[in-house]
A and B are shown apart, each in its own frame.
Chain A
Amino acid sequence: MIKIKVRKPDMVENIKLHLDALLTGVKEAVKPGTITIEYPRERRWLPDSFRGYILFTPENCISCFQCSFVCPANAILMKKSENNRYYPSIDYAKCIFCHFCVDSCPGSALRQTKIHDVVYIDLDEMFCPTENMINPPEIVREDEYTVEYLMDLDIILKRVKERDDLIPEVKPVEIIKEYSSCYEPDSCLACGICVSSCPNEAISITSLDGEKRLKIDADRCTGCGICVKECPVQILKLVKG
Chain B
Amino acid sequence: MAVKIVDEKCKGCTKCVKSCPFSAISMNGRLAVIGESCSRCGVCVKECPFGAIEVIEEEKKAIDLSSYKGVWVFAEQREEHLMNVTMELLLEGKKLAKDIGTKVCAILCGEHVESLVGQLFSYGVDKVYLADHKELKNYRTDAYTKVIYEAILTYKPEIVLLGATHIGRDLGPCLAVRCNTGLTADCTKLEIDPEDKKLKQTRPAFGGSLMATIVCPNHRPQMATVRPGVMDKAEYVKGKEGELIRLNVHFEEGDIRTKLIRIVKTAGEIASLTDAEIIVSGGMGLGSPQGFDLIKKLAKKIGGTIGASRACVDAGWIEHSHQIGQTGTTVRPKLYFACGISGAIQHLAGMQDSDNIVAINKNESAPIFEVADYGIVGDLFEVIPAIIEELEKQ
A and B bind: no
Spell out B's residues near A (CB within 8 Å): none
A residues within 8 Å of B by Cβ?
none
